[in-house]
Amino acid sequence: MSSTKFILITGGGGGIGLEMARLLASREHSLILVGRDALRLQAAAKELRAENSFFKLCLLYAGRKQ
């Protein structure tokens, strides 16, 4: 049986979190990005998918409703 392992990255919408996501995605790791800003997470996901087509990605929005 094969199971996919994910790496959880907080603050994945920008800064150090996004840079760590870029590094790990380039090494074909599967990622879970968590952040407080849904738009920044979506933009980060778009960038990561454009740069790396061979990894799995899950986004979690952890912010408050406006």
Cβ proximity of 31 and 43 under 8 Å: no
Question: What whole-number distance in Å separates Cα of residue 10 and Cα of residue 22?
Answer: 13
Closest CA to 41 of 66, 9, 65: 9
Q: Would you state the structure tokens that stand for residue 53, as one six-digit string? A: 């087509």
**pLDDT tens digit sequence for 13-61:** 999 999 999 999 999 899 999 998 989 999 999 999 999 877 788 888 8
Residue ranges and CATH numbers for the domains of the chain are 6-61 (3.40.50.720)
Residue 60: its pLDDT value, please? 83
Residue 11: its pLDDT value, please? 92
More confident residue, 14 or 2: 14
Residue 1: its pLDDT value, please? 54
Place 66 in a pLDDT band, splitting at 50, 70 and 90.
low
